Structures are given as C-alpha cells and as structure tokens.
Structure 1
C-alpha cells in the first residue's frame, strides 16, 4: 500500500494550495467550515489522520469538482489507511511511528547513523539499555514495553518478503562512545552481523573514526533517506535532531543529503570488511568482560 504518512503530506500540500488559490487564510477556511483554526493547521501540517467526510466538506466549500475532487478524495482515503504500527498508538514514540510507516512502504532505505544503532536492527538487550539511557535523561516519550515490541516488529517487517532494500552507514563512534554495558554492545554487534549475513537486502558499512571524507563538509547529524515504488511518490529525507525529526521533501534538500550519503559510502568500509570489523569488536568486548558468550 502507499505510505499513509507520505499521502498525508501530499494531502496537506493540496489543501493548503487550494485554500491559498481561493485567497483564504487558515483562519478564513476554519471560519468558512465552522472549525477551529487548530484543526485546519493540523491538517495542513500532516499532523493527524484525515477524516474523509471533513475533506469532502472542505472541497465542497472551496468549489472543487470533477477529476480534481476525485483525486483528492483518493489521496484522503489512502492517507487515512492504518498500518501495523497504528495499533501501538503513541506508546511506541512519535519518531518510531513515522519510521515504521516509511520503512514498510519504501523501496529503499539508506541511513547514516552517527549517534545510535539503526532502530530496525536492534536486539532486545540493546533496546533495554537504550531505555535505561532515556530514563537517566528523563526523556521517555513512549511506553518501554510497547516500544520494544514495536521495534522488534519493525525488524520482522523489514525482513519480510518484498521488504525494502536497506543499507546503513554506521559511524564507529556509536560503537566506541555509547554508554551501554560491553556485553550488551557485543550482543548488538553480533545481532547485526547475523542479520546482515542472512539477508542480502540488508547491508551495513562502518565509517571508521579516522576515515577522511573528501568532497565537502562533514555531516552534522544522523539522517535517513527513503525512496518509494508508488508512481509520483518523491524521495524523503529525515534528519535527526535532539528534540525531533525534520522531514525534508524538497528536491534540492533531499539531493544534498543524498550527495552527503554517497560521499560517506565511498569513505566507509565495504560490507565484508564491516562485518569482519563488527565481529572482531564483539569478540574483544567479550574477552574484556570475561563473559565467554
């Protein structure tokens, strides 16, 4: 199915353009519909699932008919569809909910992870350790048990038949600096090695701390690139910040991050060398803890 999140953004753009073409402000449209302004604002910012009846009423009020009316109603229906992630509601966290939607409906996913392991490739002990870090910062915006279940579901969906091609570039600093127990990091690295070794569509490349990245400045944050098989669905870039994820859809902005990704990929280890590196680090961490597992 098309990505409901992508469709919500497309629908938001359509409604905003139609409103502006009629010379109406958001307040003006809200008054015309006897809605409060917040409802129009959330619709035009793709912050809520659309109600088809409300969309039809807006189109009627704006005088939209014919094929344009049918096309926007179809957008609204697709934007209102539910995926497996919707059964978790807010308990899985807002960022993970968008990621699950985009991953499930993407043709390709490419990520540069500067500060964390890719969410869809995390094992249970590592997820638990991340929850502990969130709790120490008092930044929980999810229910830990439900979030963990949803994250494991993401991996299941990623590995399903027909799932997207998935490639991540993992900065070595994540392995060296993230304050999780050594035995947990070792388990996470082995989990990634096993997953990548068993699934050809999933690849990991490690960007070493001493790798030089020619052609431009260094990346300022983690980011994620998505392409889609649905005709007309343009690529999306998601940029990670401390407080939220920035969603970029303009061609020039997405192209800049795609260019950065390509430079990072050329500087990173090959997939084979990355697997060997991750396995070697996991073994050394195990030796240091005397775990023997």
Structure 2
C-alpha cells in the first residue's frame, strides 16, 4: 500500500515533533538544552536520519507538554513505525489496529481483564473466526474474515518467541460460558487455555459469577508494559474506536483495579480446576 511503509510513518512522526517544538517557540538548541541532549540529536530526529526511540519520544512529548489525543496518536505512530513490522503486509488494517499491534509487539507483559471474550492472544483459530464473523455482522467477505483471522493468529507468535511476552489474564466466567461458534469450538478453546496455562509466561485466572460486583464491571481492559523505562499504557477497545490511557493517575487506577480483580478471582490452580469442570460439563 503506497504511503503506509515504516519510512513514511517515521517521516510523519519527525514532522510532527518539529511542528510541536515550533509551537512551543523553541529552537532546536533550546529544545536540546531542555531535555539535556546535544542539538544534533534533535536535528537527526526531525530530519528523520535517526529513528525515534520510545523513551526519547516520551522525553520530547513531556518537554513540549503534549497530552491527550495528540500524545496518544504519536505514541501509536511511533510503535507502528517499527522496522519490518509483519503487520505492514496487511494493507487494510486500520491505523488504530496496526498501532495497537505495534505496541503489543513491543510489550514485555500484558495484564488484562476479559469480560465477554477470551483475549485474542489466547484464542484458537476457530474461536477467533467465530468472534470475527459475529463482529463483522456478515458485512465482510470470506477473504476479509480470513485475513483478520490470520492477523490474530500471527499476533500469537509473540507468546512463542525466545523471550516471550508475559500475559496475565483474568477471564470472567461469562466469557467461558458464552458459546462462540458451537460446543466443539468451545471444547477446543477450553483445551487450548488449559495447555497455555502450563507455560511459565502465561497466567490465567477465572473470575466466577459468584464473585459479585467488582470495579471492572464497566468493561474489559489491557495494561501493556513496554520495554525500558516507559510508563504502562492502558488499552480499551470499543465498537467505534480504540482508547489509549497513559496518564499516571489513570494508569495507576487501572493497576489497582487489576490487583483487586486478581484477589477476587480464583487462584491459578483453582482457575484451571474450574476450567476443567466447565470443559467436562454436559
């Protein structure tokens, strides 16, 4: 797809950073002094002769006092501008989705609460297909469904690489009781979860219905922990768009919510026993 490669995204990011510096009324040298860099580093970033590292981007956004949607967009843009992103071959991915894949690919750990669905990284192909077909409401072709399923399955490679992503998921009982596809699809999904849960980098907890009210009844969320000294980012997927939260206060709130859910949920061993019981129920 013309105009969607990493080089174009890097140039857009460089242009935006230059524009933000100028809006603050700063010269390159003044900006460099503010962040403790050599002026040449600012120049290399703005002329796209040097890639913007995640930590450097956060430093510049802080220095330019960038917040809100603009900050979120640039963080997503930086993540999606990574060299050789496998998702770049899918020219019909939305910028929101490709941006999220970039962040997920760069993360070292994900903590998530799944309310109605098993998290995408832990879905079987048949389960993913049933979910995608339902959300597309018969408005997509078989080829489009196949592509989306392929993307979801390819994302899961992050769990099997030499330094795999750590995922800690709390799955609401409702997500396990909801039949996606048919009972055979669910049976294979249960077996897949049980197999994944035995891997050292995968932790699965079940939040049973009888746990009652909890602080995440409003919906699912994921907390992504990125490489290096970056703050966590909270990701929330909605029907219309994706939301990224990075405010220290709000991210701290979601961390507290996750910790609360972790205590309310069954422990890992009891969760597996609970899952086995569901899998063998008539």
**Fold similarity call, TM over 0.5:** yes
The corresponding residue for 2:60 is: none
Residues 108-147 of structure 1 mapped to structure 2, 5 A cutoff:
108-136=109-137, 138=139, 143-147=144-148
Residues 167-246 of structure 1 mapped to structure 2, 5 A cutoff:
167-197=168-198, 199-212=199-212, 217-231=215-229, 233-246=230-243
RMSD: 3.1
Q: Which of 257, 261, 267 matches 2:258?
A: 261
Q: Which runs of 5+ in 1 are unaligned?
A: 24-63, 289-293
Matches of 2:11 and 2:138 in 1, distance apart? 32
Q: Structure 1's 10 and 220: CA in aligned 2 closer, same or farther, altered over 3 A?
A: farther
Residues 155-166 of structure 1 mapped to structure 2, 5 A cutoff:
155-166=156-167
Q: Structure 1's 15 and 276: CA in aligned 2 closer, same or farther, altered over 3 A?
A: farther
Q: Provide Cα deviations, 1:163-221, integer angstroms capped at 9, x if missing partner.
A: 22111110111122355322211211111111222x2101111111111467xx44411
Matches of 1:207 and 1:273 in 2, distance apart? 11
Q: Provide Cα deviations, 1:114-171, integer angstroms capped at 9, x if missing partner.
A: 121110111111122113312436488x921122122111222222111221111101
Tell me the secondary structure at the aligned position of residue 210 of structure 2: coil
Whether 1:22 aligns to 2:20 is no
Q: Structure 1's 185 and 96: CA in aligned 2 closer, same or farther, altered over 3 A?
A: farther
Matches of 1:243 and 1:263 in 2, distance apart? 28
Alignment coverage as a number of residue pairs? 234
Q: Structure 1's 266 and 10: CA in aligned 2 closer, same or farther, altered over 3 A?
A: farther
Matches of 1:265 and 1:81 in 2, distance apart? 33
Matches of 2:13 and 2:248 in 1, distance apart? 14
Q: Which runs of 5+ in 2 are unaligned?
A: 1-6, 27-37, 55-77
Matches of 1:206 and 1:12 in 2, distance apart? 46
